[in-house]
Amino acid sequence: ASILVLHGPNLNLLGSREPGVYGSATLADIDTRLQLSAKAAGHHLQSMQSNAEYELIERIHLARPEGINFIIFNPAAFTHTSIALRDALLAVDIPFIEVHLSNVHARDSFRHHSYFSDIAQGVICGLAAAGYEYALQAAISQLNE
Ligand code: DQA
């Protein structure tokens, strides 16, 4: 099956961005590991990062005609602001897991609300880069069913 990993704004800076909050893994480290795990399980995984809301929206739109079966999404700051990205996910109707590196509930109150959690299949936060791996394992076990 085909899995798409989407990363929102500022996640291109992972590794050097507030390492005490987001860890020392770079986005390339995370994507490489996910790609290897997916391949080992017989699935295809691609990832995309963008700082632009419309690019993420258009990537989600393309996912349906492309036949993407599952999305793993860290919307980053758009988590707390973007009705447009929420609507895009509802429109394509592809199951997704929401991932955050940090525990958003232990941080600023404006990070406690997500426009995605109630329509996500599940949410993983606070487990750093491993959270993406756990999301992938969950996706793979469903795709194998
Ligand atoms: C984040 C949490 C968001 O609140 C923040 O804006 C981010 C990253 C995380 O992965 O912990 O950019 O999604």
Q: Per-residue pLDDT averaged across 120-133, rounded? A: 98
Residue 132 belongs to a domain with what CATH number?
A: 3.40.50.9100
Average pLDDT, the chain: 97
Closest CA to 73 of 134, 104, 116, 21: 116
pLDDT value at position 135? 98
Question: Residue with the nearest Cα to atom 10 of ligand 1?
Answer: 100
The domain in which residue 126 lies consists of 2-143
Q: Is 47 in the pocket of ligand 1 (CB under 6 A)?
A: no
In this structure, are residues 127 and 134 in contact, taking their beta carbons and an 8 Å threshold?
yes
Q: How many domains does the chain have?
A: 1
pLDDT tens-place string over residues 11-41: 999 999 999 999 999 999 999 999 999 999 9
Tell me, using a 6 A CB cutoff, whether residue 114 lines ligand 1. no
Copy the structure tokens of residue 22.
């987001």
| pLDDT at 81 (0 to 100) | 98
CB neighbours (10 Å) of residue 105?
12
Percent of the chain exceeding pLDDT 90 equals 99
Residue nearest (by alpha carbon) to ligand 1 atom 9: 100
